[in-house]
Chain A
């Protein structure tokens, strides 16, 4: 469960990205974050895995208060949260297999478990036969599937996806959405910032709309609600 109370975020350069956020997201929910560019969607997601810290306010993730969390506990927090970005963020010099395995090496899993689990998860995103490729040898959709595989390989409770289909063509985007829905069906909370009106209006989920750092709309089975 994720809970934010009165959260503000001002960047060091003075830009106010979040201007008082109150929101609760329950375990197993699928939430779209929509809004114009610069509305604060990415900042909102970054607070959840403590890539950024709020200037003010309280954030609780998996029953842990992030404001009092020590630096050395941050890796533990992040192991429970998968993150997927528009630009994939794969380790460019590692193979697909190594990229996914990395998330398990970090938690010191046994090589046997790693091999089994990595192949399992690569199979679930349809990339079992590309395990030995490096990211540059893959299409955008394939790279995003590797990123998703890495994000879910250690069974995180939450998956955050910041415009995961932003760089992909429509067909590939639907493919990614199908995978995300599957992951959600297995109980993982999904928080997805997106600009895709088609996706939001077709696959109906909870919609949180943001403008200038505040939430202006929060509806279950909501609409995209903007013209672009």
Chain B
């Protein structure tokens, strides 16, 4: 294809958008609605994922050493833990350090615990992080079996529920996004199909004059692309603007460090690119699908 022909197709595709102004509004409206929903879901999903990852990162195992354990035994336990390949890091804390941490983390009420300084009820501990948080439970029960280990602590119920919830949220989110995108493709291919029904006769005439299928298809392709991109403009503005507002007003939440949402840069722009990309794909796919069956003339 010569460049001037591509240029011609571009002009023709743009003209069609003006000529079918009502259909343009309908298709752009369908894409806009869907992309806003898809965008909101994406933002929610990715942030939920991010928060979940943070929470998972925070998951750690505490192996409580028996009070009667010998120093050599304690060292041996440490070496054994370190030799487990799924373990990322191991640190040792004496019961005095543990109590200090506890008092610090309690803030005001911490002073209540100060009375235990003389008679510390806590254990010396190994604090263990696994490379993959999902290994937490297995590693924990392995360590629990070591001689000299009294018991392990990793917030058993909490961790299991967290993992279940994360997986559930991810799957539901993905299914919803796919469902939305397919609805949008269906909507746009239907709206374009209506305009093409009206243009069916025109396509017949074009073929009569010797136009190839590709020649006829190109303007539709460009029209679909433009419709999709037009339909993504409002969603991009809404999502980027909304997210900016959110990040500016999230200080309260971000004080709890596990509720860190993704920073505005570059996340918002990545989402914007993704929305425009999805819009373009929806438009092109919808128009290519709908023009196909009218070309067998």
Chain A residues engaging chain B, CB cutoff 8 angstroms: 49, 51, 72, 75-79, 83, 89-93, 102-103, 105-108, 110-111, 150
Residue of A nearest to B202 (CB): A91
Residue of A nearest to B12 (CB): A105
A89 close to B208 (CB less than 8 A): yes
Q: Can you pick out 5 interface pairs between chain A and chain B where the beta carbons lie within 8 Å of each other?
A: A75-B207, A75-B210, A75-B211, A103-B210, A106-B209
The answer to whether the Cβ of B170 comes within 8 Å of any Cβ in the partner chain is: no
A78 close to B209 (CB less than 8 A): yes
Q: Which among B207, B208, B212 is the interface contact of A72 at CB below 8 angstroms?
A: B212
Q: List residues of chain B with CB within 8 A of the CB of A150.
A: 209
A78 and B8 contact, Cβ closer than 8 Å, known pairs A91-B202, A92-B202, A108-B2 = no
Minimum CB–CB distance from B217 to chain A (whole Å) comes to: 13
* A49, A106, A107, most chain B CB atoms within 10 A: A106
Q: List residues of chain A with CB within 8 A of the CB of B2.
A: 108
Q: Which among A51, A79, A93, A107 is the interface contact of B19 at CB below 8 angstroms?
A: A93
B209 close to A111 (CB less than 8 A): no
Minimum CB–CB distance from A12 to chain B (whole Å) comes to: 14
A78 and B210 contact, Cβ closer than 8 Å, known pairs A89-B205, A90-B205, A91-B202 = yes
Q: List residues of chain A with CB within 8 A of the CB of B210.
A: 75-79, 103, 106-107
Q: Which among A89, A90, A93, A111 is the interface contact of B4 at CB below 8 angstroms?
A: A111
Q: List residues of chain B with CB within 8 A of the CB of A103.
A: 209-210
B208 close to A83 (CB less than 8 A): yes
Complex: how many Å from CA A9 to CA B251?
80
B4 close to A106 (CB less than 8 A): no
Q: List residues of chain B with CB within 8 A of the CB of A89.
A: 205, 208
Complex: how many Å from CA A49 to CA B4?
28
Minimum CB–CB distance from B106 to chain A (whole Å) comes to: 77
Minimum CB–CB distance from B51 to chain A (whole Å) comes to: 53
Q: Which of B8-28 contact A (CB under 8 A)?
A: 8, 19
